[in-house]
């Protein structure tokens, strides 16, 4: 919950399905704030200007490790990552992550590169720095129209801009030029997020490495996280076996020993703090003339003793098979679907709609969830591969035409539209418009690079639920959570009323259903 007295600078994104609110810029809408640009001085030795165009949203989403792609002899290549440092500051449920990376041009040529940097779903970029001639150049965020003027001026003067722009989901890209032969280019990206709380734990995840880097090791890797909590800390754990944890009553320090290699997947930190007796507390912040407060509340609504599912279940699974979900993410999608179908009985009915730019059904109509039909559906999904664009609104419109009152729809994908209504807000509006008011929609976010605007729009339909699958996530646990959510939320759609305090802006404007445990 945030109060604003004047125009606000970019601030953190509010959390999801909690009483968490963040400010906006005065006189602007969500859509108009998605573009912002900043510039830096011209490089002294080589004509170079950098203008950072932030095309952002309050709800973004593979994170923590960037990649600098170049073209060498006409073939695509990635520059080696020499240094990768991650510093995390977690205060109550607010986490700020600062990532510093140094890329090395191992050729003697001057190259032009494209930096791809992912952030977690729901995070907001709070800073971007590029080192030029050894000096850090900070990006200043400006309004969209001013950014366009700056960009056009740079182009007119025939200087090369480096653009940091949102490419969809939660991946940003930047054009960096020049990268001189045998030169190192250093960047720093910081982002802020509000951590979700589920099952009594707050979870922070940072993608510190991946399988591709296993073939090209990082020369220097460092990870450190500091945790500060207003309520007493009950437990702080980490998925990395080598992580050293020093915990006190209200703080903790997590640090990897020097020389530790980056893992292939996420570094996940789980934090359990004592629940305040009042059921919540406020975090305040003053920046100049601006005042903000965020209320973190536990509704203290007990979860049902046992889910009461309709019998038989009428299940429709909508699966993204576009090119954005290949490799590990495609396998994760199929694994979650398999585990979900395993929880069905032969009396339950199901069907699978796979989509990319086109759409295809596993069966002409819903069929019993027998072992043979489940195996056939999974084979159908695997046979489609991962190709093409993502026309999510068209897929949902087709699915909506088959819904009945008790249909449980499970969407599996990253929610990033690349065809049809390809903008997040337009795609979200399209799925809301297509919903016939029947059934409940549960969204399962696959991977870290997700479009939370679209996924939350899906999960809001019929009082559904939102779940996330990231590296190392147990597919069976996700399937169990989805299955439990089908019985209904622990708290239906809630309404928020303000008394005794005047606020300038509130985010989220509407509170959705709370699944059990959140």
In a domain, 478, yes or no: yes
Tokens of 168: 């969809």
Judged by average pLDDT, the poorest of 136-145, 183-192, 469-478 is 136-145
The string of pLDDT tens digits covering residues 378-399 is 999 988 876 777 888 899 999 9
Q: What pLDDT shows up at residue 243?
A: 96
36 & 178 share domain = yes
Mention every residue, 6+ apart, whose C-beta is less than 8 A from residue 486. 307, 309, 310, 313, 408, 440, 442
- Residue holding tokens 């993608």? 207
268 & 355 share domain = no
The string of pLDDT tens digits covering residues 166-216 is 665 567 778 787 889 999 999 999 999 888 877 778 889 886 654 444 446
Q: How many domains does the chain have?
A: 2
104 & 174 share domain = yes
In a domain, 515, yes or no: no
> pLDDT grade, residue 45 (50/70/90)?
very low
Task: Decide: 412 and 337 in contact? Cβ < 8 Å.
Answer: yes
332 & 219 share domain = no
Is residue 312 reached through a cis peptide bond, with omega within 30 degrees of 0 on the bond before it?
A: yes
Task: Decide: 410 and 396 in contact? Cβ < 8 Å.
Answer: no
345 & 243 share domain = no
Segment 140-158 shows an average pLDDT of 59
261 & 379 share domain = no
pLDDT above 60: residue 227: yes
In a domain, 254, yes or no: yes
State the Cα–Cα distance between residues 384 and 404, nearest whole angstrom. Answer: 27
44 & 147 share domain = yes
251 & 125 share domain = yes
DSSP H helix total and E strand total for the chain: 8, 28
| Kind and range of the H or E run holding 379 | helix 371-384
Its domain, for residue 49, covers 32-73+82-273
DSSP 431-481: HHHH--S-SEEEEEEESS---HHHHHHHHTTTT-EEEEE-TT--HHHHHHH
In a domain, 385, yes or no: yes
195 & 319 share domain = no
In a domain, 291, yes or no: no
In a domain, 24, yes or no: no
User: Rounded to two decimals, what is the model's pTM?
Assistant: 0.69
222 & 371 share domain = no
CATH code (residue 68): 2.60.40
The string of pLDDT tens digits covering residues 83-101 is 999 999 999 889 999 999 9
In a domain, 514, yes or no: no
CATH code (residue 424): 3.40.50.410
pLDDT above 50: residue 225: yes
State the Cα–Cα distance between residues 79 and 102, nearest whole angstrom. Answer: 10
Judged by average pLDDT, the poorest of 399-408, 434-443, 508-517 is 508-517
Judged by average pLDDT, the poorest of 42-46, 123-127, 197-201 is 42-46
Task: Decide: 466 and 414 in contact? Cβ < 8 Å.
Answer: no
* DSSP tag of 501: -
| Kind and range of the H or E run holding 236 | strand 233-238
More confident residue, 427 or 15: 427
State the Cα–Cα distance between residues 148 and 488, nearest whole angstrom. Answer: 47
Residue that terminates a domain, selected from 244, 273, 302 = 273
In a domain, 471, yes or no: yes
364 & 445 share domain = yes
Judged by average pLDDT, the poorest of 13-27, 311-325, 432-446 is 13-27
336 & 450 share domain = yes
* Percent of the chain surpassing pLDDT 70: 70
DSSP 19-51: S------TT--TTGGGEEEEEEPPPSSS---EE
Mention every residue, 6+ apart, whose C-beta is less than 8 A from residue 505. 2, 4, 8, 21, 23, 24
Give the number of other Cβ atoms within 10 Å of residue 269's Cβ: 26
């Amino acid at each position: 919950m945030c109060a604003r007295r004047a125009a606000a600078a970019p601030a953190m994104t509010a959390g999801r399905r909690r009483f968490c609110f963040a400010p906006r810029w005065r006189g602007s809408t969500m859509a108009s704030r998605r573009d912002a640009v900043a510039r830096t001085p011209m490089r002294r030795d080589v004509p170079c200007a950098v203008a950072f165009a932030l095309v952002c949203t309050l709800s973004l989403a593979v994170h923590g490790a960037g990649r600098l792609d170049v073209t060498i002899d006409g073939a695509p290549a990635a520059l080696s990552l020499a240094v990768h440092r991650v510093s995390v500051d977690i205060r109550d449920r607010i986490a700020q992550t600062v990532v510093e990376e140094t890329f090395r041009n191992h050729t003697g040529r001057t190259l032009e590169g494209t930096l791809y940097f992912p952030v977690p779903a729901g995070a907001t970029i709070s800073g971007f720095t590029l080192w030029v001639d050894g000096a850090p150049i900070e990006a200043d965020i400006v309004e969209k129209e001013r950014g366009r003027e700056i960009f056009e001026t740079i182009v007119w003067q025939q200087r090369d801009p480096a653009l940091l722009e949102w490419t969809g989901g939660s991946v940003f890209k930047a054009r960096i030029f020049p990268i001189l032969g045998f030169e190192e280019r250093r960047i720093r990206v910081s982002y802020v997020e509000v951590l979700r709380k589920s099952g009594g734990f707050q979870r922070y995840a940072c993608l510190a490495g991946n399988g591709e880097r296993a073939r090209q090791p990082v020369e220097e890797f460092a990870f450190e996280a500091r945790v500060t909590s207003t309520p007493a800390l009950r437990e702080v754990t980490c998925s990395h076996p080598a992580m050293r944890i020093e915990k006190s009553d209200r703080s903790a320090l997590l640090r990897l020993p020097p020389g530790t290699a980056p893992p292939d997947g996420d570094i996940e930190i789980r934090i359990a703090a004592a629940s305040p007796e009042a059921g919540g507390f406020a975090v305040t912040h003053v920046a100049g003339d601006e005042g903000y407060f965020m209320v973190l509340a536990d509704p203290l609504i007990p979860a049902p003793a046992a889910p009461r599912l309709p019998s038989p279940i009428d299940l429709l699974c909508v699966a993204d098979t576009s090119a954005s979900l290949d490799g590990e993410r495609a396998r994760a999608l199929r694994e979650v679907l398999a585990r979900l179908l395993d929880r069905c009985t032969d009396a339950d009915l199901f069907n699978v709609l796979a989509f990319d730019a086109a759409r295809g059904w596993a069966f002409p109509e819903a069929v019993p969830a027998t072992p043979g039909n489940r195996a056939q559906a999974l084979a159908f999904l695997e046979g489609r591969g991962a190709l093409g664009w993502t026309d999510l609104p068209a897929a949902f419109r087709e699915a909506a035409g088959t819904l009945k009152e008790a249909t449980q729809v499970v969407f599996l994908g990253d929610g990033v539209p690349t065809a049809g209504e390809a903008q997040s807000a337009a795609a979200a509006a399209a799925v809301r418009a297509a919903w016939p008011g029947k059934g409940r929609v549960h969204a399962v976010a696959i991977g870290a690079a997700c479009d939370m605007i679209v996924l939350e729009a899906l999960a809001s339909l019929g009082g559904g639920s939102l779940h996330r699958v990231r590296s190392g996530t147990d597919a069976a646990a996700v399937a169990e959570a989805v299955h439990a959510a089908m019985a209904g939320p622990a708290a239906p759609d809630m309404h928020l009323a303000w008394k005794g305090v005047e606020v300038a802006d509130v985010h989220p404007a509407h509170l959705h259903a709370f699944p059990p445990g959140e």
